[in-house]
Amino acid sequence: MQILNRKKINPAIAHYTGKVHHEEISIQLFNYNADQHTENIEFDYKAIKEFPQDNQSHWLNIHGIHDAEKIQFICQQLGIHQLAMQDILDINQRPKFQEYDEYWFFSLKSILPSDNNHVDLEQISFILGDNFLISFQEKKADYFDHIRSRIRQNIGIVRQRKTDYLLYLLLESILDNYFKTLARIDEKINEIAITDKKIDLSPDLLEYIESFKRQIYQIKRNVTPIRDFVSMIEREEFQMIESKHVKYYFEIKDLCLTIIDDCEQINMRLESNINLFFSVQGDRMNQVMKTLTIVATFFIPLTFVAGIYGMNFNNMPELGWKYGYLSVWILMIVLTVIMIAYFKRKRWF
């Protein structure tokens, strides 16, 4: 993980803090209203300029933010503040919201559905203006295709509404991935059968459970700022959202609360599994110790008898007795039977 160097000689030079790779960034531009739409799925970043004040809504989506020079050029052409530009490139910061004079800046962490035991996060930043929305996606994994199809085919009301409604659709799509990830985690937790006697209660199993706790922590940590952002809209602190669209953002808040509640429930189940892990491990250890103790107890009187007749004193009448050896064996067997009967009666095994 790269750390943003804030002691730069030239603060105008942008710096990307993520993993450097050599893929080309791709840009798509959608212009639409209720009557028509145009799109350019291979838009040249050099042709970017400020959006016209017309009766159309403009959605500029950028895949890849690793090329800091191109992102800086795009932001300069669109009049995006230097601080917002650096927030777009710094993937290590927490989700944040900032209001500027002519637009909003909002960054969040999106989760990428994965089958491994790690949470793959992607930073997505939004610039919301009066008639435009710019989205910066860190990775190429795209889950907005259904929204593009709605715009192309004029399905639903997206083309009748402004870009604040489009932002709602994008946020809803992002939260949907959180639900899918939680469902996957829930399925894997259900497969953990700690009480199964065939399960090896090794530290690896405990680490497996702890990996899910870390995932839940990351999910909750990244969803909470989205809830707080919508809460500010609910309090009508910002005018960028039309009043008729506020109800849709209430739905976003409900989704966030549901995700947080699900995280709490799953976390409680994980804590219960950890407690059960140590309880079962302790019970198995007690069973082993009880078995060893019983076996050792059997040999205590036998060792005592053997010790007496192993002292090699001359004046021990039993040593010269014809049936002495047999009598000692009978004594040992009787003692063992008595102890077994006693332990069975006490239900110690």
pTM over 0.85: no
Distance between CA 105 and CA 103 in Å, rounded?
Answer: 7
Q: So what's the pLDDT on residue 339?
A: 85
Percentage of the chain exceeding pLDDT 70: 92
Q: Could you tell me the CA-to-CA distances from 71 to 15, 48, 116, 123, 128 in Å, in that order?
A: 10, 11, 31, 14, 17
pLDDT band at 260 (very low <50, low <70, confident <90, very high): very high
Residues 102-147 pLDDT 10s: 899 999 988 876 666 677 888 899 999 989 999 999 887 677 889 9
pLDDT at 10 over 70: no
What are the Cα distances from residue 299, in Å, to 50, 307, 308, 325, 335?
Answer: 92, 12, 14, 18, 10
Give tens-digit pLDDT for 170-200: 999 999 999 989 998 888 888 887 766 666 6
Per DSSP, which regions of the chain are E strands?
26-32, 37-40, 57-63, 96-99, 104-112, 120-128, 132-137
As a whole number of angstroms, the distance between CA 194 and CA 76 comes to 57
pLDDT of residue 136: 93
| 3-state class (DSSP) for residue 222 | helix
Q: Which domains, from first to last, does the chain contain?
A: 26-280 (3.30.460.20), 288-345 (1.20.58.340)
